[in-house]
Structure 1
Amino acid sequence: LSPIVGNIIATSGWRFAFVVLAVICLVGSLPIAVIFFRSHPSDKGLQPYGAELTEDEIKAIESKGKKKVVQADPEVTVAIGWKVMKKSAAFWLLALGFMLVGAINAMIVVNTISNMTSVVMNGETIVTGGHDIAWASTVLSAELVLVVFCKVALGSMYDRLGLIPSSIIGAFTCFAANFFMIFNTTDWGPILGAVFFAFGTCVCTVGPSVMMTKEFGRLDIGRATSIMVAVQSVGGIMGAIVSGQAFDAALSFTPAWIFGMVISIITGVCMVASVKLARKLVAKQIAAGAPRVDEEGKIVEGSVATA
């Protein structure tokens, strides 16, 4: 919708464009949610996203001549729940990591076009990248198309490589995106920045639910994930404000991109540390005799989780 919205803004103004988007959301999204939404995947004969394959399912897939099925970091099946999570350093380190990812995401999303073109400030045009709007819009549109494939790629990495390698890769792509954004006067800088950010931004959308279930299981996953997304949004607000203030002070986006590189490293450290601490938390809950949870996060009565 980006090119369409851009044309509407150019011809009819941003207010009308927001009305059009509101109507699309109301007419397109709300009826679908009302008609098809169910509380549990089993209500529709399905399994939850990320549910572990059984041995029979793995054999069936492999018998069809496909590659060997590898499931790294199996989903946690011990009951942990919000009462335990909220007291654990693993949860809040992960929250900090996603807050910083949210900040990076907002800084790049809000300033991508301006970084490639120019900024009008107090009636004066400040040339940043010097590219025209048409070229910058093409780069942005290509990035949004690439995001579709990157979402699938990141999900596959979480499944096949595990949480720690995937977190490191995600942090690296965020770092690289910020790094290449510095070279905004070249053609290759914005293009490479867009390529790496197409993957890095997927950490915001794919990451929370996958990392939460693989670190803490599905018990109280709705509440915990909503908090994770909320702190990510707080990071987005902070990132947008900080990047704007940085530009006002330096009349350049370079300080914002350097800041983004720094917090990308911190993001990776937080997420890796969270995974390691979560594994210890899971082992502790198993040792304490905590019950097992099924694929939908319901406690299996009378059960005791095992390693």
Structure 2
Amino acid sequence: MSQRKIHYAWVVAAAVFVVLLCSAGVRATPSVLIVPLEREFGWSRALISGAVSLNLVLYGLVGPFAAALMQAFGIRRTTVVSLSIIAVGVALTNFMSAPWQLFSFWGVLVGLGTGTTAMVLGATVVHRWFVARRGLVMGLLTASTATGQLVFLPVLASLAEHHGWRSVSLSVAAIVALIIPFVALVFRDRPSDVGARPYGAAPGVEDEAPVSTNPLLNALGALGRAARLRDFWLLAGSFFICGATTNGLVGTHLVPACMDHGIPEVQAAGLLAVMGIFDLVGTTASGWLSDRFDSRWLLFWYYGLRGLALLYLPAAFEMSVFGLPLFAVFYGLDWIATVPPTVRLTTQTVGPADGPIAFGWIVAAHQVGAGVGALGAGVVRTALETYTPAWVVAGIICMVASVLVLRIGRRPRLPSLTGEQPA
């Protein structure tokens, strides 16, 4: 009896999961390096945070150009080069002795590398290799970012405590270097490279032809075409709010906010770990749901429920037992569940050809929002000695986002992306 073969699309998706897992571990590393660098070199926390901020900005802005590079030069080649940049950048931090080196190695090199091996990589692979189960696969790949933090952070923190911060950077660089030959061996650019069609594609469906235009012009051209569409701006605006209320606000300020309320740092970090666990569940489920339900309504519920969770947070700090754990579970399920339906709506809005690059620009908006959220909450805490206004404002803008996403697709998408005038 012949056995049914596993479609190679699932092999590529599993390999991408590993890459995104490791990339998430790299992005989580600064949280265990800040204090050791501060102690050894006497650098201020503001200076070190400046390098991390540069990393985050480049991480977001490089996305659309990375998608264009993947179209022009292939997924495998682009990923191998980006992983090499990450490995070199992290390894070089062992030899730094001046702030400009921190900005160059961690801010620029690691920022560029991790920005290429991020959500845009997942969106490109899902678009190219899958017709069926796109939402589910995108949910799994997105969830790898939470899994990476869960896997790496406890180990990296232990290394820093017992063997010093250089052991952390050397270990991370070695892990990234080890997966480079794995990527080169397993990755394939298109289903036709292995004599297959995209998973779930009907017979006769051909791969999209490789793009031969300049990657920079392609990225900017896709932005120009997408920018003519109102729905693109609604998606970018909602993802700006997403970044401001997740990575920027909660990811940066929840632990110090807990410490303001007398909660020990280790216990506060445990809340983030709980969020990561439930985010893995919530984002994977979101991918499954986006294959079956209207993505606009999914985003409506995600942003609305996140807003309620943030409005509840000030009261949660005052509860003795269940307040913060309940927030961690509820908020964690919704942490990045917005990604799969946003990817689907982006493709529907701008078309499959420009979809991955347009999503890269939307991710850039997400990271700008994260920067605004982190800075804004810090200013509020410094000026008022409380985070409460920041939580409340974040909850309100999430409610605004829940209304905005329902406007997507309400009007004809004019003018057309091809530049043709309507009859």
Query: Per-residue CA shift, 1:109-128, capped at 9, x if unaligned?
Result: 11222222x1xxxxxxxxx2
Q: Which runs of 5 or more residues in structure 2 are unaligned? A: 1-151, 203-221
Task: Give the equivalent residue in structure 2 for 1:89.
Answer: 230
Task: Give the equivalent residue in structure 2 for 1:43.
Answer: 193
Query: Per-residue CA shift, 1:222-266, capped at 9, x if unaligned?
Result: 221111111111111111111111111122221111121011012
1:20 pairs with 2:171: yes
If asked which structure has higher relative contact order (CA below 8 Å, sep 6+), I would say 1
Indicate which of 212, 222, 233 corresponds to 2:356. 222
User: TM-score w.r.t. structure 2 length?
Assistant: 0.52
DSSP-derived class of the 1:160 partner = coil
Q: Tell me how far 1:175 sits from its aligned partner.
A: 0.9
Q: Distance in 2 between matches of 1:20 and 1:177?
A: 37
Task: Give the equivalent residue in structure 2 for 1:303.
Answer: none
Q: Tell me how far 1:150 sits from its aligned partner.
A: 1.0
Q: Distance in 2 between matches of 1:159 and 1:230?
A: 25
Q: Tell me how far 1:103 sits from its aligned partner.
A: 0.9
Indicate which of 152, 155, 180 corresponds to 1:4. 155
Q: Tell me how far 1:153 sits from its aligned partner.
A: 1.0
Task: Give the equivalent residue in structure 2 for 1:115.
Answer: 257
Q: Distance in 2 between matches of 1:185 and 1:13?
A: 37
Query: Do the aligned residues in 1 keep the contact of 2:313 with 2:327 (CA within 8 Å)?
Result: yes
1:159 pairs with 2:295: no
User: TM-score w.r.t. structure 1 length?
Assistant: 0.70
Larger helix fraction of residues: 2
Task: Give the equivalent residue in structure 2 for 1:105.
Answer: 246
Q: Tell me how far 1:141 sits from its aligned partner.
A: 1.7
Query: Do the aligned residues in 1 keep the contact of 2:298 with 2:341 (CA within 8 Å)?
Result: no
Q: Which runs of 5 or more residues in structure 1 are unaligned? A: 55-80, 119-127, 291-307
Indicate which of 267, 271, 286 corresponds to 2:405. 271
Instruction: Describe the shift of the 1:4–1:185 C-alpha distance in structure 2 as closer, same or farther (beyond 3 A).
Output: farther
Query: Do the aligned residues in 2 keep the contact of 1:102 with 1:204 (CA within 8 Å)?
Result: no
Q: Distance in 2 between matches of 1:190 and 1:231?
A: 29
Instruction: Describe the shift of the 1:257–1:31 C-alpha distance in structure 2 as closer, same or farther (beyond 3 A).
Output: farther
Query: Do the aligned residues in 2 keep the contact of 1:208 with 1:229 (CA within 8 Å)?
Result: no
DSSP-derived class of the 2:353 partner = coil
Q: How many residue pairs are counted as aligned between the two chains?
A: 248
Task: Give the equivalent residue in structure 2 for 1:168.
Answer: 300
C-alpha root-mean-square deviation of aligned residues, in Å?
3.0
Letter of the 2:336 counterpart:
C
Query: Do the aligned residues in 1 keep the contact of 2:300 with 2:402 (CA within 8 Å)?
Result: yes
Q: Distance in 1 between matches of 2:336 and 2:246?
A: 9
Alignment of 1:213-292 (within 5 A): 213-277=347-411, 280-281=412-413
Q: Tell me how far 1:46 sits from its aligned partner.
A: 5.2
Q: Distance in 2 between matches of 1:23 and 1:16?
A: 10
1:210 pairs with 2:344: yes
Query: Do the aligned residues in 2 keep the contact of 1:208 with 1:228 (CA within 8 Å)?
Result: no
Query: Per-residue CA shift, 1:149-186, capped at 9, x if unaligned?
Result: 11111112212221121011110232133123222243
Q: Distance in 1 between matches of 2:295 and 2:225?
A: 21
Q: Tell me how far 1:96 sits from its aligned partner.
A: 0.9
DSSP-derived class of the 1:281 partner = coil
Indicate which of 314, 317, 336 corresponds to 1:184. 317
Query: Per-residue CA shift, 1:7-53, capped at 9, x if unaligned?
Result: 2343455565344334333433x3343333333344343526xx7x7
Query: Do the aligned residues in 1 keep the contact of 2:228 with 2:415 (CA within 8 Å)?
Result: no
DSSP-derived class of the 1:24 partner = helix
Percent identity reads 21
Instruction: Describe the shift of the 1:255–1:237 C-alpha distance in structure 2 as closer, same or farther (beyond 3 A).
Output: same
Deviates more, 1:261-270 or 1:172-181: 172-181
Letter of the 2:254 counterpart:
T
Q: Distance in 1 between matches of 2:224 and 2:375?
A: 33
